[in-house]
Structure 1
Amino acid sequence: MEAASVAGPAAIFSWIIGFVVIGVIAYNYIELGTMFPESGGMSKFAQYSHGSLVGFIASWANWISLITLIPIEAVAAVQYMSSWPWAWANWTHSFFKNGNITTSGLLVVFCFILIFTLLNYWSVTLLTRFTSLISIFKIAVPLITIIFLTLSGFHPENYGKSLSEFMPYGSASIFAATSASGIIFSFNAFQTVINMGNEVENPKKNIGLGVGLSLSISAVLYLVLQSTFITSVPTALITQSGWHGINFESPFADLAILLGIHWLSVLLYLDAFISPFGTGVSFAASTGRALAAMSSNNHFPKILGRINAKYGIPRVAMAFNAVLSMVMVSIFRSWGTLASVISTSTLIAYLTGPITVVSLRKMASRFNRPVRLKAIKFMAPLAFILASLAIYWAMWPTTVEVILVILLGLPIFIYYEWRLHWKETMKQLRSSLWLIVYLIFLSVMSYIGSDNFNGRNLIHYPLDFIVIIIVAFIFYIWGMRSRIITVSFGNAQEVNKHVKK
């Protein structure tokens, strides 16, 4: 619904672009994930090639996105709950108003976050069984929805009879929907495979397989669901309000009711309550491991990295994340806002992956590489450029707001550098200058860019894309040449020793 309201029927292309962007980025992480199959790997890779400051910025950005992912699933469930149509459920109607979670709804969101955390608290086995069960709902219900909405209300004419009807808000809106409507964040599940690398059997085979399957299954489901949404909306409603004016509180359930399929609406309301638990529980696990991994670079309290001896789970980190997730959703109460925050912060973290994998090819040519990607010289710069464009697509002021949140983490780094007596601080700063300057460039570019992305229109569309592509490639070269050997590189060597080719 969010994508269609931004781009109209052309939102179908937004999903393809989102899949390509994340697919190209994920390609780089397969080599890194198999080289270093460790808990919270996404929070460690950058520091192996560029030292602790770049590692800190990347892991901080990734962590911001992950702690936002936990509450967004709870928000989705509560938003659907708030529109339950049954008389006995009238008490839920106060949970969501004017596009935001209310105070009473917030308390329910807190309960969900607590449940997500507790389901991870005792064992990985419990987590695996629970998510396997939920996965049935996450695949079966969308398939049932696609079939019965198509049979009951198929309006292919909603795609339009001309290019202007298919693309009512211009081509730029297709790119805007990719980041601003949560499409990028919808493909983020591949991170869980990387972040739980040390718990994956046969990493050489299964990390790449897990990443590929999670992205491919998601892409097919989302594309068909987007098409189903477009063709199921009553044509009269589009004529009356346009795609911008379509605003359902419970999109697919509302469509089922409009088409008279009441049993399907009940199933969708049930699934919208149950299904987010699968993602919420998975990311509560992944986020806990990411935070625990961050403590290993000596710039976070060691207690956050403590692993429970009996269950092998970072309990302290999970509890800390649960509290911060509650704070995050208290500030950002809208699903759309949370989605933009997740997409942008994730993409900023992803900027380091392509540079790290190529840098390690030069720094660590003798490291064990169970998977040696043949197209990395082409895919790495392409991933950096696509991530840069997608950050820009998030639109002003979201871009600069998220970048500021990420830069606000620097005082924590400085505090720990002071405690470490400023060892190698200048060396770390020089190695990270490319990333800090690049984030400033992206902020300025977002402000002066085209009005299609809420900029001041000093650089018109599509010239803004060309500028970003050229500058991104320059910063990619700078970033790759900023690699340094630090203590973290030695840690990487120790992890890699235990990896089989």
Structure 2
Amino acid sequence: MSAQHAFETTENTTRDGLVRSLSHRQMTMIGLGSALGTGLFLGSASAISTAGPAVIVSYLLGALLIAVIATALGEMTAVHPIRGSFGAIARQYLGPWAGFVARWSYWAGAVIAIGGEVMAAALYLRFWWPQLPLAATIVVLACALVIINLVSVRAFGVTEFWLSGIKVTALVVFLLAGALLVFVGVPDQPAIGFGHLTEHGGFLPQGPASVWVALAVVMFAFVGFETVSISAAETPDPVRSIRTSTRALVWRLALFYVLAVGLVVTLSPWQEVASSDGDVESSPFVRVFASLGVPAAASVTNVIVLVAALSAANANLYGASRLMHSLAHDGAAPAPLAVLSRRGVPVRALLVSASGLLIAATLAATDVGNVFTLLVALATFAVLIVWAIILATYLVFRRRRGNLPAEPGYLRLWGGSVTAWLGIAGLLGVVATAFVVPDMQKAAATGLVFVVVLLAAHGTTTRRRRTLSSDSTSESP
């Protein structure tokens, strides 16, 4: 039985009860919604302070590495469009331990990321209403996201489509406006040109090694593209949708990030951008819109980053809830979390994920004992673990499948296993920044402990299931 046939049951549902109501356009927007968060609009200052204008090369290298991981994942998902995505596929090809570690790692990282995005959204609202209580605002925003996800899969897809559409449109406007300022100029302001790329210490003001060091920050701007494969189990034509969405996502992410960051360091001296420290008022978007005579440029930019934060939180909450549902279905999380509502929504898995985001957001707002900093380090390493497992799974996947069918438009990683090995080498290069980047040192230390805990938990869970199974067999007549 083919993977496609095994996936299908009725016109609108899978055999697991999930509702197939996401279009491939919505899938693409879900991926963009997860990956195009506040990190692009406000958070690129850290990478720019590390590498200067050469950060363009860092983002280009990061985009290439993400293209390898995303295409490998897309190729496997097109063959196995199943609940649990990369975690379930890793379980099939590498073993139960890999599925357990991959899904729990991604869930933990996603929940922490959602908490950070929700807290950021609450802070952006304070831009207009400074007296808003932060904790209450976080709760209200979290509840709104939960309600959207609880209604139905279709409601989530439509909401995410429009939220992502708004920030993609804003980004395109920024690119066009920035290009106008660079090449043409506006009344009372001549064309800026490319002088800022070389006039302030040169293109590599911090030295060639800074391009590598900046990858420690750059790579995590792309986190979230995995949600496309997670959503494959809830689309009517998963094989076609994953092919279309993966290709669109890869080139759009690369284009948006490389061009946007390139314009940022072209429009202003890199030292100015590096010192902005995520402040809306000093965002490059504000300067560009103000130069074009856009009224209330700071308010317009704040709307954009607010939508970006809510969109990323919404998409990641969806992904986290589906992975928790998958874990429960496979016996790797409490069984009640596998229950679906009549509309195919894993309500309990969603609520558990939402509770986690509230905890993360609370810690972010208070930073009790610097706990949230440790959680961010954990999320950082968790993502690296997931990406490494995806590529390791792909190596086994290609070895077992041999020659893939030459279907028109078949999604396939160029270079196959060789490219996957290069991707693994690239990930190791990012991990190696721990030798010079304190945050990566913290991420590696925290993450390694977390992985050991997960492996121990998996071993305990496996032994318990075997014991229960043997007891049940011995008691049977």
TM-score per shorter chain, which class? 0.7 to 0.9
Mean Cα deviation higher: 152-161 or 194-203: 152-161
The aligned residue for residue 345 of structure 1 is: 382
Distance across 1 between alignment mates of 2:55 and 2:64: 14
Name which of 251, 270, 287 aligns with 1:255. Answer: 287
By how many angstroms is 1:242 displaced? 6.5
1:401 equivalent in alignment to 2:446: yes
Give the 3-state SS of the residue equivalent to 2:441 in structure 1.
coil
Counterpart position of 1:415? 460
Query: SS at the partner of 2:226?
Result: helix
Q: 5 Å matches for 1:20-419?
A: 20-84=64-128, 89-92=129-132, 104-148=133-177, 150=181, 151=185, 154=192, 156-161=194-199, 164-180=201-217, 183-233=218-268, 235=269, 244-250=274-280, 251-252=283-284, 254-255=286-287, 261-308=294-341, 310-332=342-364, 341-363=378-400, 371=410, 373=412, 375-393=415-433, 395-419=440-464
| Residue 447 of structure 1: aligned partner | none
Question: What's the offset of the Cα at 1:83?
Answer: 3.6
* 1:326 Cα deviation after fit: 1.9
Question: Alignment partner for residue 4 of structure 1, among 48, 63, 71?
Answer: 48
Q: Deviations over 1:226-271 (max 9, x none)?
A: 12322333x4xx6xx6765443411245535875754332221122
Tell me the SS of whatever aligns to 1:190: coil
- What is the CA–CA distance in structure 1 between the aligned matches of 2:126 and 2:207, rounded to whole Å? 34
Name the CA shift for 1:52/1:15 in 2 (closer, same or farther; >3 Å): same
Give the secondary structure class of the aligned counterpart of 1:168.
coil
For residues 294 and 34 of structure 1, the distance between their equivalents in structure 2, rounded to whole angstroms, comes to 21
- Using structure 1 for the length normalisation, give the TM-score: 0.71
Measured at CA, do residues 165 and 144 of structure 1 come closer, stay the same or move farther in structure 2, by a change above 3 Å? same
Query: Does structure 1 retain, via aligned residues, the 8 Å contact 2:102–2:389?
Result: yes
* Residues 253 and 327 of structure 1, relative CA distance in 2, 3 Å threshold: same
* Alpha-carbon contact 1:296-1:302 (below 8 Å) kept: yes
- Out of 57, 75, 91, the residue aligned to residue 13 of structure 1 is 57
Give SS of 2:466's match.
Answer: coil
State the percentage of identical aligned residues: 17
Deviates further, 222-231 or 371-380: 371-380
Question: Offset at 1:120?
Answer: 0.9
* d(CA) in 1 for partners of 2:112, 2:89: 21
Q: Distance in 2 between the 1:155 and 1:136 partners?
A: 30
The CA deviation string for residues 253-303 of structure 1, in whole angstroms up to 9 with x for no partner, is 553587575433222112222232222222211111111111233221111
Residues 339 and 142 of structure 1, relative CA distance in 2, 3 Å threshold: farther
Distance in 2, Cα, partners of 1:74 & 1:322: 11
* Closer/same/farther in 2, CA of residues 223 and 360 from structure 1, 3 Å limit: closer
2:473 corresponds in structure 1 to: none
Q: Aligned equivalents of 2:162 and 2:411: distance in 1?
A: 34
Residues 175, 231 of structure 1: CA spacing in aligned structure 2 closer, same or farther, 3 A cutoff? same
| Mean CA deviation greater in 153-162 or 381-390 | 153-162
Q: In 2 relative to 1, CA 398–249 (structure 1 residues): closer, same or farther, beyond 3 Å?
A: same
**RMSD across aligned C-alpha pairs, in angstroms?**
3.1
Report how far residue 367 of structure 1 moved.
10
Judged with a 3 Å threshold, the aligned counterparts in structure 2 of structure 1 residues 54 and 315 are, in CA distance, closer, same or farther, namely same
- Deviations, residues 307-332 of structure 1 (Å, cap 9, x unaligned): 22x21111111100011122223334
What is the count of residue pairs matched by the alignment? 400
> In the TM superposition, what are the counterparts of 1:452-467 in structure 2 within 5 Å?
none
Deviations 1:84-139 (A, max 9, x none): 4xxxx2325xxxxxxxxxxx434423332222222111111111221222233111
How far off is 1:6 after superposition?
A: 2.1
Q: Distance in 2 between matches of 1:363 and 1:248?
A: 47
Q: Which amino acid aligns with 1:317?
A: A
Between the aligned partners of 2:168 and 2:375, the Cα distance in structure 1 is 24
Q: 1:413–1:48: structure 2 CA closer, same or farther, 3 Å change rule?
A: same
DSSP-derived class of the 2:344 partner: coil
Q: What CA distance in whole angstroms lies between the structure 2 residues aligned with 1:115 and 1:289?
A: 18
Deviations along 1:356-393, one digit per CA (max 9) or x if unpaired, are 22323444669999757363121221222222222333
> 1:315 corresponds to which letter in structure 2?
V
Structure 1 contact 57–409 (Cα < 8 Å) conserved: yes
